[in-house]
Structures are given as C-alpha cells and as structure tokens.
Structure 1
Amino acid sequence: MTSLAPYVRILAQGKGRARSMTQDEAESAMALMLSGAPAPEAVGAILMLLRMKGETAPEIAGFTAAARGALPGGWPGPAPDLDWPSYAAGRTRGLPWFLLSARLVARLGHRVLLHGWNSHQSAHASVRASLGDLGIPVCQTTAAAVQALQARNIAYLPLETLSPALMRLLGLREVLGLRSCVNTVLRMLNPGSAPAAVQGVFHPPYRELQADAAQLLGQPALSVLKGGGGEFEHHPTKDIAIFGLRDGAPWTGTTGIHADGRRRLAETLSDPADLAAIWQGRKTDDFAEAVVISTAALALDTLGVADPEATAARAWAARHDTPAQPEFTP
C-alpha cells in the first residue's frame, strides 16, 4: 500500500466517527511517510490532523517504532549508555550549557550519544557550532559515532545524516507553518537503543506523553524535563517536576534547587567561547556552573548512579584532572 488515505479517514471521517490511530496503525502510517511514496498532501494532512487532535502515546510510540526501523543501516555497534536528543529551536535561550553536562557525564565513563537539529537557533546559541570547541565529535555516520563513543565516550549525530527521510518530514514545518509530531518523534528516536534517555520539552503536557510512549516502547529509564528552550537543561533556581521511567515503570520526581535568586538562562555569559572557557577554568560563573552540575546530576540519576548530585559536583571539580583524550577524526 502506498496511500495514506485509510489513515487520513481514521483521523478525519467526521464527528463521532473519527478516532486516534492504534500503535500498529501509526507505525504503518509513519513507515509509508518515510518511504516517500505517499502524496505530499496526504502527509501534510496526517501531520496537521494529529496536531489539531493532539497526539496519543500509542500514536507517538508507533511513529517512533517506524522511524527507528527506517534508520539506514541500523546501529552498527554496542549501544550507548545514554541517549541525549537536542531538537529545540532555542530562539530565546542562552548558551547550550547542557553540552558541558553531557561531556561531564561522559567523563565519568558513560557513553553519551547526542543527536539533533537546531535550525532556528541564533548564531551565539548554536548547539552545532559549539561542539568542536568542547571536544565533542560530530559524526557523519553511525559507524563513526560508534567509534567516537568507544574513543571519547561522547558523539553527536546530525539528523540530516542520521536520517534524511526524517529530516525531510521535519522540514515540512517550513511548508505548513506549524510544528508537527515529528519533533516529538525525534526526541523519542534513541537511534542507538540506549537503555537510559533524557529528553527536554518546551510544553509541559509532553512530559507525560513522551514518558507514556516510551513505556509502550519498552524503554527502561527515562527523564523528561521542561528545560531551557525545550532542551534537557535544568534551571538551577527552580524546583521542576520530572516525568519518566525507572525500571520500565512510570516515575516522577523533582529537580531540587541548586542556586539562589531569580535569573533567566539567557542572563549569563553569552559569548560561545565562554562554554570552553568555563570548562577549562579560564572563566567562572556560579549560575552557569550550577546549570551544568544540576543537569548532569539529573542525567546521572537517569543512569542509576548513586548520589548523583554529589557525583556531578565532584566530577566538575575534578574535570581538569581528566587525562588527555585521544585524537579522533570522525
């Protein structure tokens, strides 16, 4: 079958008759959309009908399962320990301090796979532009990412090389003028099948939606946070609710408060070079460092690390003692 018409009818056949798709139906619909065979009008209809209706956990789980199954070549090596998606636009956020958190987690020996697309970010807050200065390899293939994880415990996969088909669906935002459920699917993607995952959201209702979908997919450990600009990044002056999974079961928690005062994430250091300067100790900023440490602690908690806050703080204090990492060319 190459037509999406049956799935459009499910969602749009009228009051009292329309319904949500089952997980299997959603998986089949997404597989078709990723194949490129259906008419683009039908793809747009599916995405906008879901936006108007509101996605369900089975629909997101089905879409995600199809997206994982369509990844070119699969995952060619050992699974990473932690999946860390980065797909927020970040128009108003500050620097991506969470990248230092991810590197801190990797320094502790956990293999962290970052993947993403951040097309709307301003130049000063760009995730992609900051990776090189932080020693995070940008990999053009999954095989290169596996090698980077083995050599450095951290890697970044751009969406456009990870899955051109998903990149094409994400790009429909420019055509349709609205965000679609593809953004949620990308956060759920977990291309390396990591047993632990962290996800950021901008709108609070998606915390429970993504946690419920992840449970349907058999994800063991997950933390979903309303974070800075929609990224998995903790604002240290706020005690924020977290939703997710532990041992595959629904779980909720709170972040705690790690800094005093009231301050926006954008109201701190703003030069992209400041990211590396903070890591290297050439600059200090109590607020930025509280962001890094508290975010890393949440990731460590997801990984099942005992006393994650103290572990993150000790690792931050000892980050300059890290042995020189081997050169790696992805």
Structure 2
Amino acid sequence: MIREALRKLMEQAPLTREEARQVMTSIMEGQATPAQIGALLVALRMKGEAPEEVAGFAAAMREKATPVSCPEPERTVDIVGTGGDGKHTINISTLAALVVAGAGVPVAKHGNRSVSSKCGSADVLQALGVNLDLDARQLSRCLEAVGMAFLFAPKLHPAMKHAIGPRRELGVRTVFNILGPITNPAGVRRQLIGVFSRDLARLLARVLQQLGATHILLVHSDDGLDEISLAAPTYVVELKEGDIREYRIDARAFGLSPQPDGITGGDAETNAAIARRILEGEAHPAREVV
C-alpha cells in the first residue's frame, strides 16, 4: 500500500481517507521501511496535506492508541497546542488546563516532550513532579479523583515507535506534528487547540469535522502565537455541531492588559518555577494570559 501511496503523492495526487488510514496502519504495524516513511512524509509536505489524508492518518492512530476511559466523556476537554510558533513562551496551555480542571471541568490533556521549543508540556509537568509513566487505568482514576490527567503520547501511542527514527532524521515539520492534538487517547470531542498558522486552523477544522468532534476552537493570534494573545487580536476557527465559522476576538476588550515580554519561557526548571508562582497566586506578568 505504501508504494502505491508514494506513486500517487509523487504525481501530486491526494490519497483518499481510506488509503491514508491504510498507509498509517502499515507504518504502525512495522510494514514500512524507514526510507519509505521518510519519502512519504516529504512527499506529503511538498504536496500539502489534504483534510481527507489527515483524517485518515488520525483515524488509524486513534484505532491503535491505548484507550483511556473518561468518567464524564461529554464534559471532558483537552487544551493543547501544535507548537511551532517559534515564540518560546511558557507552557500556557498546560497551565490553563490546570486552572480549568481546578474550576471543575475535567481535562484529559494529551501531550509530549518538546519538539520545537525549549520545554514541552511533558517536560514542565515532569519538572513539577508529575509521573509520566501512568497506564490507561491509572489515568482514568486520576480523571475521576482530581479531574485531570496528563496523557503522555509515547506511553499511549506505542505503535508510533516505527516513525521516530525517520522523523528525527528528517528534522523538519511533517504531518506528525499536527496529528498529536487530534489523536487524544481519551477520545475527547471538545478541545481548545492553538495552532501555528491560520491555514492550519482551517485544515484541522475540516479534519475534526470529518472525525465527528462536538465543539472545537482553533486559535492563532496576529502576533504569531499558537495561543489566545493578550497583545494582539486572535483569529478563531470554531467547529460546533458540524458547522464551521471564523471570527476574531480581542482579549483586551475583556479588560486584560498585554504583557508581551512576560510570557517568554526557558527550560523545564525555569518554566516549572514560573508555573508554581502563577498557580500559587503570586503576581507574574504571564498570569493574565493563563
């Protein structure tokens, strides 16, 4: 299947959703060589990923993931970002997830170590003392007991080990960089997703529409953040009950003051120290953006 897919992509022809699902399944089952995986990723990037292709890849990853049971599936949300905005901010979505869970909304946060920044969600949470090695049953108990669990991608997507080598050797953004936020093993259907471009927001809205999401907000700010910014308006693509609409919001209209210089982060220990200050209620420039 992967050879046929490569031939189509080299001719700039899109894969169907089912073809994409079969290709990803073959990768996760170890049936594709590293050279074939690398060629596929480059060909896709050069052609540009189509919604049907991304939906097919995501469907296969969801099928192979270790499922995490949610005690309240219709209320559970995920707050996540694609990264890749090059801004090296603190872990805003991770802290926001903790605040939301503290307010009583269950959060099954799916994440990984850093890919494009100095510190990913897994890095800062580990520095804060979170155990990343919990299995699916333990994570479900966390959701029930405290209303939040961190779903560490490598632990719950073991079949993705076959793509690690080619991804690392390529060293460029591939479709895998945008699959993480849409392959949550808890099957959440309500998400806030920060993305690194407007085009990606539109693409993922169409993908998640195909995958049956209930309510999704995809955000990208005018100052380039994969977050809702305080310093500039934020572009939003909203998917709700099958319908997609686009609009802009301005956090300054809610009385929040911009702090563009106060949200820059560092390594895991630095970001963990900032996180503690914010969560303990201390004054910090990044508190309002969280």
User: Structure 2 length normalisation: TM-score?
Assistant: 0.86
CA distance in 2: counterparts of 1:214 and 1:275, whole angstroms? 31
Paired residue secondary structure (2:95)? helix
Deviation per CA, 1:146-191: give whole Å up to 9, x if none: 1111111111121111112225425533211221101111121122
Counterparts of 1:86 and 1:108, CA distance in 2: 21
Q: By how many angstroms is 1:77 displaced?
A: 4.6
In structure 2, runs of 5+ residues without a counterpart are: none
Write the letter of the residue equivalent to 1:277: R
Aligned to 2:260: 263
Percent sequence identity is 26
- The AA in structure 1 aligned to 2:143 is L
* Secondary structure at 2:213 match in 1: coil
Equivalent residue number for residue 288 of structure 2: 290
Query: Please, what TM-score do these two structures have when normalized by structure 1?
Result: 0.76
Q: Shift in Å at residue 242 of structure 1?
A: 0.7
| 1:25 aligned onto 2:30 | no
| Cα root mean square deviation, aligned | 2.8
Superposed CA deviations along residues 57-108 of structure 1, whole A, max 9, x for unmatched, are: 1111111001101113x33454361023355267642221332211111112
Q: Which has the larger radius of gyration?
A: 1
**1:279 matched to which residue of 2?**
279
**In the alignment, is the contact (CA less than 8 A) between 2:82 and 2:226 conserved in 1?**
no
Size of the aligned set, in residue pairs, is 282
SS at match of 1:236: coil
Q: CA deviation at 1:112?
A: 0.5
Cα deviation 1:185-227 (Å, max 9, x = unaligned): 1121122111201212112210000000000111111111126
Q: Distance in 2 between matches of 1:212 and 1:191?
A: 20
Query: C-alpha distance in 2, partners of 1:245/1:115?
Result: 20
2:225 & 2:213 partners in 1: Cα distance? 20
Q: Which residue identity does 1:272 align to in structure 2? A: A
Q: Give 1:204's aligned residue.
A: 198
Q: 2:151 aligns with which of 157, 161, 164?
A: 157
Does structure 2 conserve the Cα–Cα contact (< 8 Å) formed by 1:136 and 1:155?
no
Contact 1:22 1:58 in 2 (8 A): yes
Q: Determine the structure 2 residue equivalent to 1:113.
A: 108
Contact 2:37–2:166, Cα closer than 8 Å, also in 1: no
Q: Is the 8 A contact 1:169 1:182 kept in 2?
A: no
CA contact 1:201–1:230 (8 Å) conserved in 2: no
Gaps of 5+ in 1: 293-330
Query: In structure 2, what is the equivalent of residue 169 of structure 1?
Result: 163
Q: What does residue 7 of structure 1 align with?
A: 5
Q: 1:147 to 1:171 in 2, by over 3 A?
A: farther
SS in structure 2 of the partner of residue 252 of structure 1: strand
Cα pair distance change 1:152/1:89, threshold 3 Å? farther
- Distance verdict in 2 for CA 1:87–1:166, change over 3 Å: farther
Superposition pairs for residues 118-267 of structure 1, below 5 Å?
Answer: 118-120=113-115, 125-131=119-125, 138-226=132-220, 233-258=227-252, 259-261=256-258, 263-264=260-261, 266-267=263-264
Give the aligned residue type for 2:104: G
The reply to whether residue 62 of structure 1 matches residue 56 of structure 2 is: yes
Q: 1:265 to 1:60 in 2, by over 3 A?
A: farther
Match of 2:68 in 1: 75
Distance in structure 2 (CA, Å) of the matches to 1:182 and 1:114: 18
Quick check: 2:139–2:150 contact (8 Å CA) kept in 1?
A: yes
Contact 1:137 1:154 in 2 (8 A): no
